[in-house]
A = this chain, B = another copy of it.
Amino acid sequence: MIKKKGPTIQDVADRAGLSKAAVSRYLNKSIRLPQETGRKIDEAVAALGYRRNSIARRLSKGGSETIGLVVPEISNTFFSEMAEAVEQTASERGYNLILGISRNHPDKELGFLRWIDDSIVDGLLFVTNRPDNRRLQLDIRRYGAVVLLDEDIPGTAQDKVFCHNVAGARDATRYLIRTGHRRIFHVTGPVSLMSVQERLEGFRLAHEEAGLPCPDAHIFHHDYSQRFGREVVGQILSHPVLPDAVFAASDYIAIGMLEELKRNGVRVPEDMSVVGFDDTALACLVTPKLTTIRQDAAELGRIGTERLLDALARPETPRGVTRIAASLIVRDSVRDTRT
Protein backbone atom coordinates (compact mmCIF):
# COMPACT_ATOMS: atom_id res chain seq x y z
CA MET A 1 0.00 0.00 0.00
CA ILE A 2 3.02 2.29 0.09
CA LYS A 3 3.03 4.96 -2.58
CA LYS A 4 5.32 3.50 -5.15
CA LYS A 5 7.76 5.77 -6.80
CA GLY A 6 9.68 3.53 -9.10
CA PRO A 7 13.17 4.48 -10.18
CA THR A 8 13.34 6.86 -13.11
CA ILE A 9 15.58 6.78 -16.07
CA GLN A 10 17.67 9.41 -14.32
CA ASP A 11 18.34 7.01 -11.45
CA VAL A 12 19.52 4.42 -13.92
CA ALA A 13 21.72 6.95 -15.66
CA ASP A 14 23.25 8.04 -12.37
CA ARG A 15 24.00 4.53 -11.29
CA ALA A 16 25.54 3.65 -14.62
CA GLY A 17 27.49 6.88 -14.67
CA LEU A 18 25.84 8.00 -17.90
CA SER A 19 23.27 10.47 -19.10
CA LYS A 20 19.51 10.03 -19.43
CA ALA A 21 19.84 10.29 -23.15
CA ALA A 22 22.35 7.49 -23.42
CA VAL A 23 20.18 5.20 -21.34
CA SER A 24 17.01 6.07 -23.22
CA ARG A 25 18.57 5.54 -26.59
CA TYR A 26 20.23 2.32 -25.56
CA LEU A 27 17.01 0.96 -24.11
CA ASN A 28 15.14 1.84 -27.27
CA LYS A 29 17.89 0.35 -29.39
CA SER A 30 18.19 3.58 -31.29
CA ILE A 31 21.94 3.60 -30.69
CA ARG A 32 24.62 0.96 -30.51
CA LEU A 33 26.88 1.30 -27.50
CA PRO A 34 30.05 -0.62 -26.67
CA GLN A 35 29.57 -3.89 -24.80
CA GLU A 36 30.90 -2.55 -21.55
CA THR A 37 28.62 0.50 -21.51
CA GLY A 38 25.62 -1.61 -22.37
CA ARG A 39 26.49 -3.99 -19.59
CA LYS A 40 26.62 -1.15 -17.08
CA ILE A 41 23.17 0.01 -18.10
CA ASP A 42 21.74 -3.49 -18.00
CA GLU A 43 23.24 -3.94 -14.57
CA ALA A 44 21.79 -0.67 -13.29
CA VAL A 45 18.36 -1.49 -14.73
CA ALA A 46 18.40 -4.87 -13.06
CA ALA A 47 19.70 -3.58 -9.74
CA LEU A 48 17.10 -0.83 -9.51
CA GLY A 49 14.28 -2.82 -11.03
CA TYR A 50 13.74 0.01 -13.47
CA ARG A 51 10.73 -0.07 -15.74
CA ARG A 52 10.01 2.81 -18.01
CA ASN A 53 6.93 4.87 -17.38
CA SER A 54 4.70 4.28 -20.33
CA ILE A 55 2.71 7.44 -19.83
CA ALA A 56 5.76 9.63 -20.05
CA ARG A 57 6.77 7.66 -23.08
CA ARG A 58 3.41 8.18 -24.72
CA LEU A 59 3.52 11.87 -24.04
CA SER A 60 6.83 12.36 -25.72
CA LYS A 61 6.40 9.84 -28.50
CA GLY A 62 2.78 10.58 -29.15
CA GLY A 63 1.70 6.97 -29.43
CA SER A 64 0.14 4.61 -26.98
CA GLU A 65 0.83 1.15 -28.39
CA THR A 66 -2.76 0.45 -27.56
CA ILE A 67 -5.74 -0.12 -29.79
CA GLY A 68 -9.36 -0.09 -28.86
CA LEU A 69 -12.22 -2.38 -29.75
CA VAL A 70 -15.69 -0.94 -29.56
CA VAL A 71 -18.60 -3.36 -29.54
CA PRO A 72 -22.29 -2.91 -28.74
CA GLU A 73 -22.12 -5.61 -26.07
CA ILE A 74 -19.59 -8.16 -24.96
CA SER A 75 -21.82 -10.85 -23.55
CA ASN A 76 -22.94 -11.63 -27.07
CA THR A 77 -20.66 -14.51 -27.98
CA PHE A 78 -20.15 -13.23 -31.47
CA PHE A 79 -18.47 -10.14 -30.10
CA SER A 80 -16.62 -11.89 -27.34
CA GLU A 81 -15.11 -14.36 -29.78
CA MET A 82 -14.07 -11.41 -31.86
CA ALA A 83 -12.59 -9.68 -28.83
CA GLU A 84 -10.60 -12.74 -27.92
CA ALA A 85 -9.04 -12.85 -31.38
CA VAL A 86 -8.32 -9.15 -31.38
CA GLU A 87 -6.59 -9.35 -28.03
CA GLN A 88 -4.56 -12.27 -29.21
CA THR A 89 -3.47 -10.64 -32.45
CA ALA A 90 -2.79 -7.28 -30.86
CA SER A 91 -0.74 -8.71 -28.06
CA GLU A 92 1.31 -10.77 -30.48
CA ARG A 93 2.23 -7.53 -32.18
CA GLY A 94 3.03 -5.73 -28.95
CA TYR A 95 -0.18 -3.80 -28.60
CA ASN A 96 -2.53 -3.56 -25.67
CA LEU A 97 -6.25 -3.77 -26.12
CA ILE A 98 -8.74 -1.48 -24.54
CA LEU A 99 -12.36 -2.51 -24.71
CA GLY A 100 -15.29 -0.20 -25.11
CA ILE A 101 -18.88 -1.31 -24.74
CA SER A 102 -21.20 1.10 -26.45
CA ARG A 103 -24.57 -0.47 -25.71
CA ASN A 104 -25.42 1.12 -29.05
CA HIS A 105 -25.52 4.55 -27.47
CA PRO A 106 -24.38 7.18 -29.97
CA ASP A 107 -22.84 9.27 -27.22
CA LYS A 108 -20.74 6.42 -25.97
CA GLU A 109 -19.64 5.65 -29.50
CA LEU A 110 -18.58 9.22 -30.06
CA GLY A 111 -16.78 9.16 -26.73
CA PHE A 112 -14.78 6.15 -27.78
CA LEU A 113 -13.80 7.86 -30.98
CA ARG A 114 -12.32 10.60 -28.83
CA TRP A 115 -9.95 8.08 -27.34
CA ILE A 116 -7.93 8.62 -30.46
CA ASP A 117 -7.58 12.34 -29.88
CA ASP A 118 -6.76 11.62 -26.27
CA SER A 119 -3.85 9.35 -27.17
CA ILE A 120 -5.58 6.68 -25.15
CA VAL A 121 -5.48 4.50 -28.22
CA ASP A 122 -3.65 4.77 -31.50
CA GLY A 123 -6.54 3.33 -33.42
CA LEU A 124 -9.94 1.75 -33.12
CA LEU A 125 -11.74 -1.36 -34.29
CA PHE A 126 -15.33 -0.33 -34.50
CA VAL A 127 -18.48 -2.41 -34.53
CA THR A 128 -21.89 -0.88 -34.45
CA ASN A 129 -25.15 -2.54 -35.26
CA ARG A 130 -27.28 0.50 -34.83
CA PRO A 131 -28.60 2.40 -37.82
CA ASP A 132 -26.65 5.62 -38.07
CA ASN A 133 -28.27 9.03 -38.18
CA ARG A 134 -25.25 10.43 -40.00
CA ARG A 135 -23.66 11.82 -36.85
CA LEU A 136 -21.35 8.89 -36.54
CA GLN A 137 -20.62 9.00 -40.22
CA LEU A 138 -19.52 12.60 -40.10
CA ASP A 139 -17.40 12.08 -37.05
CA ILE A 140 -15.71 8.87 -38.01
CA ARG A 141 -14.47 10.17 -41.31
CA ARG A 142 -12.01 12.42 -39.56
CA TYR A 143 -10.07 9.45 -38.29
CA GLY A 144 -7.65 7.46 -40.37
CA ALA A 145 -7.08 4.84 -37.76
CA VAL A 146 -10.56 3.38 -37.53
CA VAL A 147 -11.44 0.01 -39.00
CA LEU A 148 -15.07 -0.99 -39.32
CA LEU A 149 -15.95 -4.58 -38.57
CA ASP A 150 -18.96 -6.69 -39.43
CA GLU A 151 -21.28 -3.81 -40.19
CA ASP A 152 -20.87 -0.80 -42.42
CA ILE A 153 -21.42 2.84 -41.69
CA PRO A 154 -22.46 4.23 -45.04
CA GLY A 155 -20.56 7.20 -46.34
CA THR A 156 -17.28 6.41 -44.66
CA ALA A 157 -14.01 5.53 -46.37
CA GLN A 158 -12.34 3.51 -43.65
CA ASP A 159 -10.78 0.10 -43.88
CA LYS A 160 -13.62 -2.38 -43.51
CA VAL A 161 -13.92 -6.09 -42.88
CA PHE A 162 -17.19 -7.85 -43.53
CA CYS A 163 -18.26 -11.31 -44.48
CA HIS A 164 -19.78 -12.37 -47.78
CA ASN A 165 -23.31 -11.72 -46.65
CA VAL A 166 -24.92 -12.14 -50.03
CA ALA A 167 -23.21 -15.43 -50.81
CA GLY A 168 -23.82 -16.76 -47.31
CA ALA A 169 -27.50 -15.95 -47.34
CA ARG A 170 -27.87 -17.28 -50.89
CA ASP A 171 -26.23 -20.55 -49.90
CA ALA A 172 -28.43 -20.91 -46.86
CA THR A 173 -31.52 -20.33 -48.94
CA ARG A 174 -30.34 -22.56 -51.78
CA TYR A 175 -29.77 -25.30 -49.24
CA LEU A 176 -33.30 -24.99 -47.94
CA ILE A 177 -34.67 -25.05 -51.45
CA ARG A 178 -32.50 -27.99 -52.40
CA THR A 179 -33.73 -29.96 -49.39
CA GLY A 180 -37.25 -29.50 -50.61
CA HIS A 181 -38.54 -26.43 -48.78
CA ARG A 182 -40.84 -24.18 -50.77
CA ARG A 183 -42.27 -21.68 -48.31
CA ILE A 184 -39.34 -20.01 -46.62
CA PHE A 185 -39.67 -17.04 -44.31
CA HIS A 186 -36.84 -14.66 -43.57
CA VAL A 187 -36.47 -13.14 -40.09
CA THR A 188 -33.91 -10.38 -39.88
CA GLY A 189 -32.74 -7.08 -38.40
CA PRO A 190 -33.45 -3.44 -39.22
CA VAL A 191 -33.54 -2.62 -42.97
CA SER A 192 -31.00 0.13 -42.62
CA LEU A 193 -28.15 -2.24 -41.79
CA MET A 194 -25.91 -3.32 -44.59
CA SER A 195 -25.81 -6.90 -43.39
CA VAL A 196 -29.59 -7.04 -43.38
CA GLN A 197 -29.82 -5.70 -46.92
CA GLU A 198 -27.15 -8.01 -48.21
CA ARG A 199 -28.53 -11.13 -46.58
CA LEU A 200 -31.93 -10.25 -47.90
CA GLU A 201 -30.42 -9.89 -51.34
CA GLY A 202 -28.90 -13.36 -51.09
CA PHE A 203 -32.23 -14.73 -49.92
CA ARG A 204 -34.00 -13.17 -52.92
CA LEU A 205 -31.30 -14.29 -55.34
CA ALA A 206 -31.71 -17.92 -54.38
CA HIS A 207 -35.45 -17.65 -54.85
CA GLU A 208 -35.07 -16.10 -58.28
CA GLU A 209 -32.64 -18.76 -59.38
CA ALA A 210 -35.14 -21.39 -58.41
CA GLY A 211 -38.03 -19.53 -59.95
CA LEU A 212 -39.73 -19.29 -56.59
CA PRO A 213 -41.76 -16.28 -55.42
CA CYS A 214 -40.48 -14.33 -52.48
CA PRO A 215 -43.23 -12.02 -51.23
CA ASP A 216 -42.54 -9.22 -48.77
CA ALA A 217 -45.01 -10.72 -46.36
CA HIS A 218 -42.53 -13.49 -45.74
CA ILE A 219 -39.90 -11.12 -44.44
CA PHE A 220 -39.84 -9.96 -40.83
CA HIS A 221 -37.64 -7.07 -39.80
CA HIS A 222 -36.79 -6.00 -36.31
CA ASP A 223 -33.42 -6.59 -34.67
CA TYR A 224 -30.77 -9.23 -34.24
CA SER A 225 -31.93 -10.40 -30.82
CA GLN A 226 -33.05 -13.56 -29.13
CA ARG A 227 -36.05 -11.68 -27.87
CA PHE A 228 -37.19 -10.81 -31.38
CA GLY A 229 -36.74 -14.46 -32.29
CA ARG A 230 -39.19 -15.38 -29.57
CA GLU A 231 -41.63 -12.65 -30.47
CA VAL A 232 -41.70 -13.32 -34.16
CA VAL A 233 -42.89 -16.88 -33.61
CA GLY A 234 -46.28 -15.56 -32.58
CA GLN A 235 -46.58 -13.56 -35.79
CA ILE A 236 -45.48 -16.47 -37.91
CA LEU A 237 -47.81 -18.94 -36.29
CA SER A 238 -50.75 -16.63 -36.86
CA HIS A 239 -50.12 -16.65 -40.60
CA PRO A 240 -52.81 -18.39 -42.64
CA VAL A 241 -50.26 -20.77 -44.12
CA LEU A 242 -47.22 -21.81 -42.08
CA PRO A 243 -43.74 -21.75 -43.59
CA ASP A 244 -41.87 -25.01 -43.94
CA ALA A 245 -38.61 -23.25 -43.17
CA VAL A 246 -37.23 -20.06 -41.69
CA PHE A 247 -33.93 -18.43 -42.50
CA ALA A 248 -32.96 -16.26 -39.54
CA ALA A 249 -30.29 -13.65 -40.22
CA SER A 250 -28.63 -14.25 -36.85
CA ASP A 251 -28.12 -17.20 -34.55
CA TYR A 252 -29.59 -15.23 -31.69
CA ILE A 253 -32.84 -14.81 -33.61
CA ALA A 254 -32.78 -18.48 -34.56
CA ILE A 255 -32.22 -19.56 -30.97
CA GLY A 256 -35.04 -17.41 -29.69
CA MET A 257 -37.28 -18.94 -32.31
CA LEU A 258 -36.20 -22.46 -31.41
CA GLU A 259 -37.18 -21.84 -27.81
CA GLU A 260 -40.55 -20.41 -28.64
CA LEU A 261 -41.38 -22.94 -31.34
CA LYS A 262 -40.72 -25.70 -28.84
CA ARG A 263 -43.04 -24.01 -26.34
CA ASN A 264 -45.71 -23.94 -29.01
CA GLY A 265 -45.31 -27.58 -29.86
CA VAL A 266 -43.80 -26.95 -33.27
CA ARG A 267 -41.03 -29.50 -33.78
CA VAL A 268 -37.77 -28.47 -35.45
CA PRO A 269 -36.90 -29.75 -37.97
CA GLU A 270 -39.85 -32.12 -38.41
CA ASP A 271 -42.50 -29.41 -38.64
CA MET A 272 -40.30 -26.50 -39.55
CA SER A 273 -36.67 -26.11 -40.55
CA VAL A 274 -34.53 -23.29 -39.20
CA VAL A 275 -31.23 -21.90 -40.46
CA GLY A 276 -29.26 -19.27 -38.60
CA PHE A 277 -26.36 -16.97 -39.40
CA ASP A 278 -23.01 -16.45 -37.60
CA ASP A 279 -22.28 -19.86 -36.10
CA THR A 280 -21.44 -18.63 -32.65
CA ALA A 281 -20.54 -21.17 -29.98
CA LEU A 282 -24.19 -21.29 -29.08
CA ALA A 283 -25.21 -22.91 -32.34
CA CYS A 284 -24.17 -26.39 -31.37
CA LEU A 285 -25.36 -26.07 -27.81
CA VAL A 286 -29.02 -25.81 -28.59
CA THR A 287 -31.27 -28.70 -29.45
CA PRO A 288 -31.55 -29.39 -32.28
CA LYS A 289 -28.07 -28.23 -33.18
CA LEU A 290 -28.42 -25.27 -35.42
CA THR A 291 -27.66 -25.43 -39.12
CA THR A 292 -26.19 -22.05 -39.84
CA ILE A 293 -23.91 -19.90 -41.93
CA ARG A 294 -20.50 -19.66 -40.41
CA GLN A 295 -19.07 -16.19 -40.18
CA ASP A 296 -15.85 -16.51 -38.26
CA ALA A 297 -15.90 -13.81 -35.62
CA ALA A 298 -12.33 -14.62 -34.67
CA GLU A 299 -11.14 -14.18 -38.23
CA LEU A 300 -13.02 -10.91 -38.50
CA GLY A 301 -11.20 -9.74 -35.39
CA ARG A 302 -7.86 -11.03 -36.52
CA ILE A 303 -7.98 -9.48 -39.97
CA GLY A 304 -9.39 -6.25 -38.66
CA THR A 305 -6.55 -5.97 -36.18
CA GLU A 306 -3.97 -6.61 -38.85
CA ARG A 307 -5.51 -3.99 -41.10
CA LEU A 308 -5.52 -1.48 -38.29
CA LEU A 309 -1.95 -2.16 -37.28
CA ASP A 310 -0.85 -1.93 -40.88
CA ALA A 311 -2.69 1.33 -41.28
CA LEU A 312 -0.95 2.68 -38.21
CA ALA A 313 2.43 1.64 -39.50
CA ARG A 314 1.81 2.95 -43.02
CA PRO A 315 -0.93 5.59 -43.01
CA GLU A 316 -0.33 6.25 -46.68
CA THR A 317 -1.56 2.95 -48.03
CA PRO A 318 -5.08 3.06 -49.39
CA ARG A 319 -8.02 1.72 -47.46
CA GLY A 320 -10.30 -1.00 -48.67
CA VAL A 321 -12.95 -3.57 -47.95
CA THR A 322 -12.04 -7.15 -47.10
CA ARG A 323 -14.60 -9.90 -47.20
CA ILE A 324 -14.29 -13.16 -45.32
CA ALA A 325 -16.02 -16.40 -46.09
CA ALA A 326 -19.56 -17.18 -45.03
CA SER A 327 -20.08 -20.90 -45.38
CA LEU A 328 -22.87 -23.28 -44.67
CA ILE A 329 -22.53 -25.55 -41.62
CA VAL A 330 -25.05 -28.36 -41.75
CA ARG A 331 -26.30 -29.60 -38.40
CA ASP A 332 -29.68 -30.79 -37.24
CA SER A 333 -32.21 -28.00 -37.61
CA VAL A 334 -33.06 -28.59 -41.25
CA ARG A 335 -35.04 -31.55 -42.47
CA ASP A 336 -34.19 -33.03 -45.83
CA THR A 337 -37.69 -33.51 -47.21
CA ARG A 338 -36.38 -35.45 -50.18
CA THR A 339 -35.52 -38.52 -48.12
Contact = CB atoms under 8 A, between A and B. Distances in A.
Interface of A: 1, 4, 6, 51, 53-56, 58-59, 64, 66, 73-75, 77, 80-81, 83-84, 87-88, 91, 96-101, 108, 114, 117-120, 142, 144, 255, 281-282, 285-287, 315
26 contacts: A51-B118, A53-B119, A54-B118, A54-B120, A55-B55, A55-B58, A55-B64, A55-B119, A74-B80, A74-B83, A74-B84, A74-B87, A77-B77, A80-B80, A83-B99, A87-B99, A87-B101, A88-B101, A91-B108, A96-B98, A96-B100, A97-B100, A97-B101, A285-B285, A285-B286, A287-B287
Nearest to A6: B117
A6 B96 CA distance: 24
A160 to B, nearest CB: 16
A192 to B, nearest CB: 25
Nearest to A79: B80
A75 B80 contact: yes
The majority secondary structure among interface residues of chain A is mixed
Top 6 closest pairs, chain A to chain B, by CB: A287-B287, A99-B99, A1-B144, A54-B118, A55-B119, A87-B101
Given A83-B74, A98-B98, A117 B4 contact: yes
A84 B59 contact: no
Interface centre among A6, A66, A87 (most CB of B within 10 A): A87
A285 B285 CA distance: 7
A98 B97 CA distance: 7
A175 B51 CA distance: 54
A110 B285 CA distance: 34
Nearest to A52: B118
A304 B91 CA distance: 26
A280 to B, nearest CB: 9
A113 B36 CA distance: 32
Given A51-B114, A55-B55, A255-B285, A120 B96 contact: yes
Contacts of A74: 74, 80, 83-84, 87
A135 to B, nearest CB: 16
Contacts of A99: 83, 87, 97-99
A100 B83 CA distance: 10
Most buried by B among A4, A66, A75: A75
